[in-house]
Amino acid sequence: MPELRVDLDAIGRNAEVVASLLRAHGLDLVGVTKGCRGEPRVAAVMLAGGAVALADTRDQNLHRLRSAFPGAELHRIHLPSLSEPFDPGDVTYVTSPEGARVVAALGSAGAPRRVTIQVETGDEREGVPAELLLDLAGLVAEEPRLFLEGLSTNYACFLGPPAGLAASLEGVAQAARALRSAGFPVGRVSGGNSSVLWLLTRGHRLPEEVTELRCGEALLLGQDALYYEPVPGCLTGACVLRAEVLEEYTKSSETNHTRAFQGRARRVVVGIGRQDLSGGRVRFLDPGLAEVGRSADYLVAEVEAGSSAPAVGQAIEMLPAYEALVAAWTSPYVEVRFGGP
């Protein structure tokens, strides 16, 4: 059975590095746990490493986190459902009047629900358009069962190109200034996800309105979410996939696009596939291996000429990209094994 080996010490180290980087810029770290299904052992090292709150998208994960950390601040960063009951968390993201009303219905006049308005700044996924922001903020402010916690945005998760990241940050900062000028309190501004770390590690200054970032990929994989480069000081091997070689032969390729290396090469069939990895990339720790494709149950890799082919029955190791990590963590066919504390 394929394994996902998780080094809790390494994730804790990454949390410390990212939290320290953010503090140096006057920012707080919110640890995102959706990539690990709200696993309390992972959340614990995120909090110990300096995260001031935890964020997730799934009710099951939020329930696990609430049970494990009754005193921690939880953010529900998934938009409210209008058709099903949901756990609002301590802070809930909203983008529409309908969503805000649903959250309000879960509160009471004595204990208003804290909401963060998500603003569209170029990713073209979730977020209220800038021209409708004041109307939504007014609805929240007039509802006694709601409290406007602040603003947030998301970028580089859907369609936002890397070149637009700085503009996204300026967009949410401008939205905060507009609300404050209109008399709305904006206590917190979440500037985005692990993609923003790419700017910080290169000396870019963020708009002063931004107060925090939501990071999951950087803590779990040690890299930014823009160009997928290692964050200085972080460990990139906190999550490692192991899968068994089931076949090893030399096979001819009829089409050039399935060749990983020049010339005739041996191929191995590995017991992990799209059911376990979706379309997420993996990088073999053995540089002599390169993927040429995958089906539902198998991954096919070629062995570079001059390199030794792994034997049938041998386990090979891979570093997953974030999409592959999420798929593997949620696959019933992959065993998750923990190390560290």
Query: Which among 221, 248, 274 is the end of a domain?
Result: 221
Residue 227 has pLDDT above 90, yes or no: yes
Query: Which among 195, 221, 247 is the end of a domain?
Result: 221
Q: What is the domain range of residue 323?
A: 239-339
Please give the Cα distance from 143 to 85 (Å, whole number).
Answer: 20
pLDDT higher for 338 or 304? 338
Whether residue 184 sits in one domain with residue 71: yes
The CATH number of whichever domain residue 207 belongs to comes to 3.20.20.10
- Model confidence band, residue 264 (pLDDT cutoffs 50, 70, 90): low
268, part of any domain: yes
Query: Which among 194, 221, 248 is the end of a domain?
Result: 221
Q: Determine which of 115-124, 213-222, 303-312 has the lowest per-residue pLDDT on average.
A: 303-312
Residue 46 has pLDDT above 80, yes or no: yes
As to burial, measured by CB atoms within 10 angstroms (0-12 exposed, 13-18 middle, 19+ buried), residue 159 is exposed
Residue 239 has pLDDT above 90, yes or no: yes
- Model confidence band, residue 259 (pLDDT cutoffs 50, 70, 90): low
């945005």: which residue's tokens? Answer: 153
**pTM assigned to the model:** 0.94
Whether residue 35 sits in one domain with residue 84: yes
Q: What's residue 305's pLDDT?
A: 85
Q: At what angle do helices 165-181 and 133-142 cross, to 10 degrees?
A: 50
Residue 241 has pLDDT above 60, yes or no: yes
Whether residue 292 sits in one domain with residue 154: no
Please give the Cα distance from 65 to 74 (Å, whole number).
Answer: 8
pLDDT per residue over 165-205, tens digit each? 999 999 999 999 999 999 999 999 999 999 999 999 999 99
Residue 258 has pLDDT above 80, yes or no: no
Whether residue 278 sits in one domain with residue 145: no
**Amino acid at residue number 93:** Y
Token code pair at residue 261: 């290396």
Token code pair at residue 142: 């007039």
2, part of any domain: no
* Rounded average pLDDT over 2-31: 98
Please give the Cα distance from 51 to 302 (Å, whole number).
Answer: 41
Whether residue 173 sits in one domain with residue 41: yes
Residue 278 has pLDDT above 90, yes or no: yes
Whether residue 153 sits in one domain with residue 44: yes
Split into its structural domains, the chain has a count of: 2
Written in H, E and C, the secondary structure of the chain is: CCEEEEEHHHHHHHHHHHHHHHHCCCCEEEEECHHHCCCHHHHHHHHHHCCCEEEECCHHHHHHHHHHCCCCCEEECCCCCCCCCCCCECEEEECCHHHHHHHHHCCECCECEEEEEEECCCCCCCCECHHHHHHHHHHHHHCCCEEEEEEEECCCCCCCCHHHHHHHHHHHHHHHHHHHHCCCCCCEEECCCHHHHHHHCCCCCCCCCCCEEEECHHHHHCECCCCCCECCCCCCCCEEEEEEEEEEEECCCCCHHHCCCCCCCEEEEECCCHHHHCCCCEEECCCCEEEEEECCCCEEEEECCCCCCCCCCCEEEEEECHHHHHHHHHCCCCEEEEECC
